[in-house]
Structure 1
Amino acid sequence: MNVIVIGAGPTGLATAMLLAGHGHHITVLERDPDGPSSTGLEAWQSWERPGVSQFRLPHVMMPRALALLRQELPEVVAELETAGARRHNMIAGTWDLPALGGRLPEDHRYETMAARRPVLEFALATIAARTPGITIRRGQTIARLITGRSPLPGVPHITGVETRNGEVLHADLIVDASGRNSQIPKILAELGPIRDTEERAAAGFIYYARHYRDNGNGLPEATHWPLTHQETITAGTLPGDNGTWSLILVASSRDHDLRALRDASAWDRAIELFPEYAHWARHGEPLTDVQVMSAGQTRRRDLVADGLPVVTGLLALGDAWATTNTTFGLGLSMGLTQGALLRDAIDAQDHIKLSLAFAQALETTAAPYYRALRDWDAHRLAEIDSNISGEQYETTDPAWQIIRALDAAKLSHPDLVRAYAQVGSMLEPAEQVLARPGLIDLIMTLGAEASRYPTPGLFRRELLTAIG
């Protein structure tokens, strides 16, 4: 099968390699004109990707993503190691806590690799460029979708694309992997009335981040899970490649008081309020000033509605299918998972069956994570609004009550830290983890004893004083 993949980001390149490995011929079309530099470090320093707003913002590869790369694309893992990616375990910082009792043999499943996004893309692009069956064409913007005879009356069937320079390319299948800012839905709508399946939900978060590098003191030690949620702000740390790391502060985009975090000195004072991460800021040399990115809406665009495709010959995956809160770093894991689902669904299928099979695979495998993070966003933003007003957020939603209790108690019991890590690493869906006998009772009991915010309002006052 001849396939056009739109987008040469991590999801697009990984999907191209997975499909090429099964004998398909892939043309990858990327709107940004420049390819990667000759080394991973040069990619960080000089590779320009104007189509990717988060290209130099903090990035994390969750254990699910590394497990998939090891299984499906081991050459990429080797290239990452050559480029300076750092192996580490997501829960290593918790093993010395008295409540947890040390490392268990199965904790290897939480291993991952730390690489900044330009270094990750460099590794993927390097291997994809020498993969038989893949052609990568950069500087190619899609202007129009080409249609042909449809297998379903009234449903457009896509048979190719026309680029901005007027070139027409035909294919058996078009795969949209162009990310959260995909223009394909807009271009598709130009073909005529097509059912709108897009689900939208306000994300409303803003990220304030800084990168650091080792200044001769060695890399800091992780002593906590990578994220900590406080009343109206979240903090986190992410190891990077080649002796680098990053720190993030995440706030509600409606919290105007915290816009002072754009200033580096205010940001430095704020991170000092998090003992889990303050040493990471003191330990190294800043590589960047404060970087700021807003996350507008969470979106999901299904191409099947009421059991029938709204279009055939076109599939969407990764952020072009559904976006999730970038705080939790599931983008790469979601993209790789969906690329493998497409690889498995594509063989010997007509277009209607392919659309339905892929949609069902997404619903079963990826959609639970999307829904969980969509709901988390809504509750977290409501909680922040309440805390800004000096009120305690209350809801009757049992899922949020369990999540809040687990977050408060996660470091108090070995079963809880691993349950938290399994969900957070995208190794198992929350529904499957929480179905274990007695786990919810344990979470609620220990969560009641470990208040999430021991003195309501105190941290907010300290934060505003520090940055003011």
Structure 2
Amino acid sequence: MDIVVVGAGPVGMTAALLLAREGHRVTVLDRDPGAPRGGAEEAWGASERPGVGQFRHPHLLLPAAFRTLVNELPEVVSELTALGGVPCNLLSGAWGLDAIGGRRPGDERFAMMAARRPVVEAALSTEAARTPGLTARRDTAVSALLTGHERVPGRPHVAGVLTRGGVAVHADLVVDAGGRNSPLGGMLRDLGAPGPVEERAETGFLAYTRYFRSTDGKLPQMPVWRVGHYDSLTTVAIEGDAGTWALSVGVSRRDRALRGLREPGAWHRAVALFPDVAHLAEDGEPISEIMAMSGMESRHRRFVIGGRPAATGVLSIGDAWATTNPLFGLGMSMGALHATALRDLLRTADPDEPEKLALRFDEFTRTSLAPIQQGLADWDRHRLAEIDAATRDVPVPYETDDRDWHFRRALDTAKLRDPELLRAFADIGSLLATAEETFTDPGLAEKVAELGRRAPRYSDPGPSRAELLTAVAGAAT
């Protein structure tokens, strides 16, 4: 098949490589000029992606994404390693805890790799350039969709794209990997399609991030768990390539009192109040300003309306289909699963039956990925409400009768108190297994309830709200 992939980010390039290796003729179009190239620092410092707001924000190849690369695209892993990517394990920080009891057989499934997004893109682009049947065109924005004769009455059939330069690129299939702000949904509606139908949360999180580089070539000790939840905020610590790391502070978009975290002084004073991560802002050389990220609300788009595809000849993957809270770092993993599923479906798809392909792809998405996205969206909703309750003038405990939220909270709190619960939490959180697959033993769920009930509300010590606000306000003195 002739396939056009719109978007040369990690998900788009992963899909393009997988499809080209199947013998498809793949053309990748991206609106931004120039692929990240060169060494790690050149890729980080010289690459520009104005069309990707999160380009320099933290990314992590969690186990599901890393497993895809190891099994399907090992040459990309070699490129990442040569660029300074750091092999690591999701559980490594917890192995030293008495309650966990060290490493166990099977923990190798939690292997992952730390690398900044520009470096990941550089590795993927290098491999794409030497892959037969794959062509990447940069500085080539898509302005419209081309149509062919309808395959489903009343629904447009996409037969390619028109670039902003007026060049028609015909295709048997267009794959939208244009990210959370992909314009292809609007282009479909311009053709008279009844969708996609987008559902978006009313609010979300803001993140304030700073990158650091080691001054002695050694990475500092990472927290026992990379994500820590506190009364008013969440911290995320992520290793990077070539002796770098990132520290992010995630807050509710409604919490205006913490908007001052965009100022370096306020950010550093606030971070110093959290013992698990304070040293990460002290041990290295800052290599970025405080970078703010908004637009983190969850959203997803439905492409099958009334049992029929909104259009044929076009499929959306990764963030172009749905987004999750970036604080959990699942974007590349979900995108890799989506791309692999598309590759697998095309092995048996009939090019003359695009409706069947659209419906089968939608079925996979609804049954395998949508529950994950919805679960994270529900988590966001509860967590934001919890923060709202904690940040009132007179704080009150957050109350809800949602049993799933209470179970998730209990598991999060208890994960470092039992080796089986830690691995259950990691399997679910890194997309290696579903909750249903993980908790087949009723005794495991009972252990969550017991340990979660006896554990403190948050597993890590942190400052009071008053102490946090004092630290942030100190920027003005």
Q: TM-score range by the shorter chain?
A: over 0.9
Contact 1:217 1:283 in 2 (8 A): no
Is 1:376 the counterpart of 2:379 in the alignment?
yes
Counterpart in 2 of 1:240? Answer: 240
* Residues 91 and 110 in structure 1, CA contact (< 8 A), matched pair in contact too: yes
Contact 1:227 1:236 in 2 (8 A): yes
Q: 1:454 & 1:300 partners in 2: Cα distance?
A: 31
Which of 398, 409, 417 is the matching residue for 2:414?
409
**Pairing partner for 2:431 from 426, 447, 460:** 426
Per the alignment, residue 365 of structure 1 pairs with 368
Identity of aligned residues (%): 49
Unaligned 5+ segments in structure 1 are none
Aligned residue for 1:388?
A: 391
Q: Note the 1:103-182 alignment, pairs <5 A.
A: 103-182=103-182
Partner of 1:94: 94
User: Which amino acid counterpart does residue 25 of structure 2 have in structure 1?
Assistant: H
Q: Matched residues in 1 for 2:139 and 2:108: separation?
A: 41
Q: Is the 8 A contact 1:203 1:325 kept in 2?
A: no
1:9–1:121 Cα contact (<8 Å) kept = yes
Give distance in 1, aligned partners of 2:460 and 2:314: 52
CA contact (8 A) 2:223 2:237 kept: no
Larger mean Cα displacement after TM superposition, 260-269 or 206-215? 260-269
Q: Relative to structure 2, which stretch is displaced further, 32-41 or 203-212? A: 32-41
Q: Distance in 2 between matches of 1:256 and 1:57?
A: 22
- AA partner of residue 52 (structure 1): V
Q: Which moved more, 1:265-274 or 1:166-175?
A: 265-274
Verify: 1:461 aligned to 2:466, yes or no.
yes
Instruction: Write out per-residue CA displacement over residues 410-435 of structure 1, whole angstroms, 9 at most, x where no aligned residue.
Output: 11111111111111111112232233
| One-letter amino acid of the structure 2 residue matched with residue 337 of structure 1 | L
Equivalent residue for 1:257?
257
Instruction: Work out whether 1:442 is the aligned partner of 2:454.
Output: no
Q: 1:340 to 1:456 in 2, by over 3 A?
A: closer
Distance 1:454 1:92, change over 3 A: closer
Query: How far apart in 2 are the matches of 1:273 and 1:409?
Result: 23
**Aligned residues of 1:65 and 1:332 also touching (Cα < 8 A):** yes
Q: Which residue of 2 aligns with 1:313?
A: 313
Question: In the TM superposition, what whole-angstrom CA distance separates every residue of 1:195-230 from its partner, at most 9, and x where no partner exists?
Answer: 442222234100000000001172112241100000
> How far apart are 1:3 and its partner, in Å?
0.4
Name 2:79's counterpart in structure 1. Answer: 79
Q: CA deviation at 1:21?
A: 0.9
Contact 2:273-2:463 at 8 Å conserved across structures: no
- Contact 1:160/1:171 (<8 A) preserved: yes
Give the alignment's Cα RMSD to 1 decimal.
1.6
Q: Is the 8 A contact 2:228 2:460 kept in 1?
A: no
Q: What is the aligned partner in structure 2 of residue 35 from structure 1?
A: 35
Give the stretch that moved more between structures: 247-256 or 188-197. Answer: 188-197
Which residue identity lines up with residue 414 of structure 1 in the other structure?
P
Structure 1 stretch displaced more, 272-281 or 188-197: 188-197
User: TM-score, normalised on structure 1?
Assistant: 0.97
> Take 2:273 and 2:425, find their aligned partners in 1: how far apart are those partners?
24
49 and 185 in structure 1: CA distance in 2 versus 1, 3 angstrom threshold: same
Q: Deviations over 1:272-309 (max 9, x none)?
A: 22211112222111111211011253221121123211
CA distance in structure 2 between the partners assigned to 1:465 and 1:75 by the alignment = 50
Tell me, yes or no, if the aligned pair for 1:41 and 1:83 is still in contact at 8 Å: no
The answer to whether the 8 A contact 2:88-2:112 is kept is yes
Question: Conserved in 1, the CA contact under 8 Å of 2:155 and 2:192?
Answer: no
Q: What SS class does the counterpart of residue 161 from structure 1 fall into?
A: strand
Kept in 2, the 8 Å contact 1:4–1:29? The answer is yes
Distance 1:72 1:333 in 2: 14
How far apart are the structure 2 equivalents of 1:107 and 1:193?
A: 47
Letter of the 1:340 counterpart: T
Distance 1:193 1:146 in 2: 13
Amino acid at match of 1:437: P
Check whether the contact 2:17–2:128 (CA below 8 A) recurs between aligned residues: yes
Report the 3-state secondary structure (helix = DSSP H, G, I; strand = E; otherwise coil) of the residue aligned with 2:118.
Answer: helix
CA-to-aligned-CA distance 1:354-385 (integer Å, 9 cap, x gap): 10111111122211211111111111111111
Residue 295 of structure 2: SS of its match in structure 1? strand
User: d(CA) in 2 for partners of 1:150 and 1:291?
Assistant: 46
Q: Deviations over 1:92-124 (max 9, x none)?
A: 111111111111011111111100000000000
Query: 2: distance between equivalents of 1:210 and 1:286?
Result: 7
Return the offset for 1:454.
8.9
Residue in 1 that maps onto 2:341: 341
